[in-house]
Amino acid sequence: MFSSDVEDETVPQSVANYHFVDEKDEPITFSVLPIQWSDNESPESTKKQIFLHGTADGLQKIYKQVTAWKFELSDAQPEISVLSKEKIWINLQKPRKSFEDTIRTILITVQCLHFVRKNPDISRKSLWEHMRKVFCLYDVAPYENDLLDNVLVIRAAVQRDKILANSQVQHVPQKPCY
């Protein structure tokens, strides 16, 4: 029992003020990693080496190689996690301010999916009013074009979730929200 308590203390469950870099130490979005859709599936392997930098508990510096990511839409707020090379899921909190633009479109996409899942009868107009409120601190307001970078993620999420597949927004003509 004692040894598992010690292990829990050394492994961060969440990271804030984070950013990701590739093997050349260049900023990169975590969404280039394969998605792990369920615990039963193993994500595709990737040859890219991507590293998470951030802080846990406000003080502990984190530097971990990550191999996959996932998101959860059923909670009060969407949650995004990355899988460390050691097979431990790390929840992503607030990104480093200078990194927000790098992951902007995937954050908008996950938030959009979350809101539509919670409000399947929402109108397109109401959805984008909500999105602008959530992302009001960003320099550029979110728009439907932000979702184009993540069409494959959106399609896969819709195929796996009946609520998303049957939502009202999907059936509104114009560019698909998801």
pLDDT digits (tens, 9 = 90+) for 122-154: 999 999 999 999 998 887 789 888 999 899 999
Model confidence band, residue 59 (pLDDT cutoffs 50, 70, 90): confident
pLDDT digits (tens, 9 = 90+) for 79-132: 999 999 999 999 999 999 999 999 999 999 999 999 999 999 999 999 999 999
The pLDDT score that the predictor gives to residue 141 is 83
Residue 26 predicted with pLDDT over 50: yes
Mean per-residue pLDDT over the chain, rounded: 86
- Model confidence pTM above 0.75: yes
Model confidence band, residue 178 (pLDDT cutoffs 50, 70, 90): very low
Residue 156 predicted with pLDDT over 90: yes
- Lowest-confidence range among 2-16, 23-37, 45-59, 83-97? 2-16
Per-residue three-class SS string for the chain: CHHHHHHHHHCCCEEEEEEEEECCCCECCHHHCCECCCCCCCCCCCCCCEEEEEEECCCEEEEEEEEEEEEECCCCCCEEEEEECCCCEEEECCECHHHHHHHHHHHHHHHHHHHHHHCCCCCHHHHHHHHHHHCCCCCCCCCHHHHHHHHHHHHHHHHHCHHHHCCCHHHCCCCCCC
The pLDDT score that the predictor gives to residue 170 is 61
- % of the chain beyond a pLDDT of 90: 71
Model confidence band, residue 57 (pLDDT cutoffs 50, 70, 90): confident
The pLDDT score that the predictor gives to residue 171 is 46
